[in-house]
Structure 1
Amino acid sequence: MKEAHHPRKILIMFTTNKSTKASLYLLLLLLSYILGFYTGKHLNKQNPTQLPEIHVELPPYPDLLRFRTLCSDPVPSKLVRKTILDRIFNGNSPFQSFPPAHASPLLRRKRIKGWGSTGPVFETLIRKVQPKTIIEIGSFLGASAIHMAELTRKLNLRTQILCIDDFRGWPGFRDRFRDISSVNGDVLLMYQFMQNVGYVNRTEEILPVPFSTNSALSWLCELGVYGYLIEVDAGHDFHSAWADINMAYAILRPGGVMFGHDYFTGADDRGVRRAVNLFARVKGLRVELDGQHWVIGSS
């Protein structure tokens, strides 16, 4: 075994001992092994061995199923409004001293517009759930939120409505809503939303949460702000709807209800309907329909 650690001695034996072909063959094989051992040892110090890529058979839609499902302990319903005001608006209502002087002349006195915003499904679900907190994903100009606020007041419910929207519109938005002003490229959608809420005197029931749906829902999950009733009506392509539905479900209280619009559209199974059906199948839940609206209860 000594020779295994001294290549020079092996080389000398190779040049002086030529008795048989078999010996030469064995020595040559041994020399090749030792040189390979030392060379490999040197290279491995500089370039660690790369493990071969392993192909594993994954279940269908592996990435699409990975969403956060555990959130913080729930904030008491009576503290939801204060929590949002403290964490977003430094403890002050955004409606205080609204509108600001620079925006006031640019706002319509009232510009309430929505799609399917006053359907019977709203009153049906509010009567059923009696929600203390409603979370709306996709608010636009506030038509649905205002309608829900009027229903809760009519039913003598003390309900806080949180409206998640980045209030930026969408590509092509300006072509359809030229009367919504903008300043230096900043469209005044949030200001017009707030103007509408103030016009109907619902500033105590409604609060904007002016962030993208993804970041807002993750943040509410971390805070422990849950909804008894959640309306999902933001992006209508499959991927947007799929993410919104999954993230919203994480902050739906037990016994609560999640619903949304545009189940029947020209997108068919490439949009909201596909996302809703896939979610229900994955979670083992049932989809109920009310006109254009879909409804899913918590498990």
Structure 2
Amino acid sequence: MPEEIIDLNSIVSGRQPINSSETPKEVTFDRVHSILYGNSSTKLIYDNAQKYFTKKFDQTYPHTSLQRDLFISIIQKVHPSLKVQFVVEIGSFTGNSASIMGKVLKESYPGSFLLCIDTWLGDLAMWINKAVWEHLSVSEDGRPTVYYQFLTNIIKQNLTTMVLPASMTSIIGARFLQTYRFYPQVIYLDSAHEQGETLIELSLYWNLLRPGGILFGDDWGWSSVRCDLKKFSYMKNLTIEQAGNTWILKKPVN
């Protein structure tokens, strides 16, 4: 089997990582906000959260496996040589898991923050299962408005300086991190779960993960997720840990 499913360097062919000759700097909320949206002290991304769609706090979306104690136990698996400072979530939806992680980081890891990468357009199951479809909050012109629900939920929990959304696909998100040499210590993968797509995401984000870090995700119960995880772990000679519906991969230090 090939050593790599997908190579980040080949994806950014013709481009060089910014400051590629420098040692990666600490990734902060303000720094990433400035790159994506401008100076956070002048105009915070959350300032216009209610401008187009008015939402009330709502965390009734039922399909969130991540719980506080589980996240604490997972983050403690990070190698002692690493300072837990930058966490990435791929697939955030209404922000239930982001809220859990954001609160833990705020309480126990000063200076850390969570970057949430999602299109906020939903996956296939959300478009064909009408009970879940309701949480997409599709407007009259056919566009999901769940992104604004995410913003509202983060605001209501006072996490607006800890949690930052990046509305992009998982692949573009990986390219963004690679371009700026932003390498997380912890990554939570909970996106579309399509077979093949999950394998690509695993490869991309594993390459971005700092040695000694943790890549974990939701929905071990999905056959598509298990299939791609088993392929990836075989290729990398990794052991998959399980905690209920959550899977966990540790990246060796060397």
Q: TM-score range by the shorter chain?
A: 0.7 to 0.9
Matched with 1:83 is 31
- Which amino acid is the alignment partner of residue 65 of structure 2? G
Matched with 1:153 is 106
Relative to structure 1, the CA distance from residue 263 to residue 111 in structure 2 (aligned partners, 3 Å threshold; closer, same or farther) is: closer
Relative to structure 1, the CA distance from residue 288 to residue 63 in structure 2 (aligned partners, 3 Å threshold; closer, same or farther) is: closer
- Aligned partners of 1:135, 1:156: CA distance in 2, in Å? 15
Matched with 2:134 is 178
Q: Secondary structure at the match of 1:108?
A: coil
Matched with 1:138 is 91
Counterpart of 1:210 (choices 143, 164, 167) is: 167
TM-score (norm 1): 0.70
- Which amino acid is the alignment partner of residue 251 of structure 1? L
Matched, 1:221 2:170: no
Matched, 1:272 2:225: yes
Deviation digits for residues 185-213 of structure 1 (CA, Å, limit 9, x no counterpart): 22111111001100111111100010000
Deviation at 1:289, TM superposition (A): 1.3
Matched with 1:48 is none
Is the Cα–Cα contact under 8 Å of residues 164 and 209 in structure 1 kept in the other structure? yes
- Aligned partners of 1:181, 1:278: CA distance in 2, in Å? 36
Relative to structure 1, the CA distance from residue 172 to residue 209 in structure 2 (aligned partners, 3 Å threshold; closer, same or farther) is: same
- Aligned partners of 1:128, 1:161: CA distance in 2, in Å? 18
Q: Secondary structure at the match of 2:76?
A: helix
Matched with 2:46 is 95
Equivalent pairs counted in the alignment come to 231
Higher mean alpha-carbon deviation, 88-97 vs 273-282, is at 88-97
Q: Secondary structure at the match of 1:163?
A: strand
* Unaligned stretches of 5+ residues in structure 2: 11-16
Is the Cα–Cα contact under 8 Å of residues 232 and 258 in structure 1 kept in the other structure? yes
Higher mean alpha-carbon deviation, 85-94 vs 213-222, is at 85-94
Superposed, 1:1-299 pairs within 5 Å as 60=1, 62=2, 65-68=5-8, 72=20, 75-77=24-26, 79-91=27-39, 92-100=43-51, 102-104=52-54, 107-113=55-61, 114-118=63-67, 120-129=69-78, 131-171=84-124, 173=126, 175=130, 176-178=132-134, 180-265=137-222, 267=223, 271-299=224-252
Is the Cα–Cα contact under 8 Å of residues 186 and 213 in structure 2 kept in the other structure? yes
Q: Secondary structure at the match of 1:121?
A: helix
Q: Secondary structure at the match of 2:147?
A: helix
Q: Secondary structure at the match of 1:295?
A: strand
- What's the Cα RMSD here? 2.3
Matched with 2:13 is none
Q: Secondary structure at the match of 2:247?
A: strand
* Unaligned stretches of 5+ residues in structure 1: 1-59
Relative to structure 1, the CA distance from residue 185 to residue 119 in structure 2 (aligned partners, 3 Å threshold; closer, same or farther) is: same
Q: Secondary structure at the match of 1:197?
A: helix
Deviation at 1:252, TM superposition (A): 0.5
TM-score (norm 2): 0.82
Q: Secondary structure at the match of 2:154?
A: helix
